[in-house]
Amino acid sequence: MVTRTVPESAVAVLREVAEVRVCDQDRPLTPDELRAAVEGADGVVAMLHDRIDAEFVEAAGSQLKVVANVAVGYDNVDVPALTGRGVTVTNTPGVLTDATADLAFGLLLSVTRRLGEAERLLRSRTPWNFHLGFMLGTGLQGKTLGIVGLGGIGQAVARRARAFGMHIAYTGRRRAAQEIEAELDARYLPQDELLRTADVISLHCPLTESTRHLIDDAALEAMKSTAIVVNTSRGPIVDEKALAAALKEGRIGGAALDVFENEPEVDPGLLELDNVAIAPHLGSATTETRTAMAELAARNVAAVLSGQQPLTPVTA
């Protein structure tokens, strides 16, 4: 069962090992619809908006062997509930690293150079003329990028930042390997120090109970008044209302957001502000990347249903 339309090349991989059903409702399924759709399935290709839990497994039936989540993050999956019932869980790491890093840096440039604001000005046909003080933004050269979570995507963002002449600092549950620190000339800092000193805070950590609202009012209060928050990971890592208030009151400089706390809804306070660059969850949205994600998920399902080990398993 495939819970949302995917590229035909991924469906073709699945058809080599099983009969395939693709959801004919091209929208997120309700919990009841999802449970009805997966009944009798041996394998499921699921999307990040699907809630995969014990009730899902019970609805599918005891023959369910594998759930392939088409995303790197798997906060929508109760992994212990599935693995405890003998169901393999997989995700799609690696293939979306560069696309997401590109988008993160594009959003950062959009907010620091006021590109969205400038485009809106032109599209509104507001009269304008060039002068040296017109729509000044801020440069990135010599500024410090503070990365929360120096995994694959965090490292890719750091490489792009170094090309722009930025300094790299990071924090996370553990230090990166020495060779990664050396390559990126990256300094490990405690989280509170990183929040206080970085010019840009870029979030690349998974959504867990410990990272939910990691960026809350207290974290925002600790930042520089000129700091920029970038979030291309998961929306609930940021307290959206607290962020909107901090931006409106000038307590931080700006935000660049690809994910939101209650997708597809966006806090109205953010939509009213010019110092926010926003996108509708486009981090992996290139034809090449989304196709690779779907194909990887399909290969994971095909492997498990063929009695082989999955390529990218998730462990509890």
pLDDT digits over 12-21, tens only?
999 999 999 9
Catalytic site residue from 4, 160, 167, 281: 281
Contact 279, 232 (CB under 8 A): no
Residue 187: other Cβ atoms inside 10 A: 16
234 is catalytic: yes
**Domains along the sequence of the chain with CATH:** 8-93+286-314 (3.40.50.720), 97-278 (3.40.50.720)
- pLDDT at residue 272 greater than cutoff 90: yes
Active site residue 179: no
What is the pLDDT at residue 315?
Answer: 87
Residue 25 confidence (pLDDT) above 90: no
What pLDDT shows up at residue 122?
97
Average pLDDT over residues 259-265: 96
pLDDT band at 313 (very low <50, low <70, confident <90, very high): very high
pLDDT band at 120 (very low <50, low <70, confident <90, very high): very high
Judge contact between 79 and 316, C-beta under 8 A.
yes
CA distances from 44 to 297, 309, 314 (A): 9, 16, 15
Q: What is the pLDDT of residue 26?
A: 83
At 157-213, the pLDDT tens digits run 999 999 999 999 999 999 999 999 999 999 999 999 999 999 999 999 999 999 999
55 is a catalytic site residue: no
Specify the pLDDT at position 109: 98
Contact (CB, 8 A) for 265 and 235: no
Compute CA distances 285 → 25, 108, 279, 296, whole Å.
21, 17, 11, 16
Catalytic residue among 114, 167, 234, 290: 234
Q: What is the mean pLDDT of the chain?
A: 97
83-100 pLDDT tens trace: 999 999 999 999 999 999
Distance of CA 311 to the CA centre of its chain: 21
**Mean pLDDT (whole number) for 252-260:** 98
Reported confidence tier of residue 260, pLDDT bands at 50, 70, 90: very high
Residue 316 has pLDDT above 80, yes or no: no
Q: At what angle are helices 97-112 and 115-123 packed, to 10 degrees?
A: 70
For the chain, percent of residues with pLDDT exceeding 70: 100
Measured distance CA(74)–CA(276) in Å, rounded = 27
pLDDT tens, 274-302? 999 999 999 999 999 999 999 999 999 99
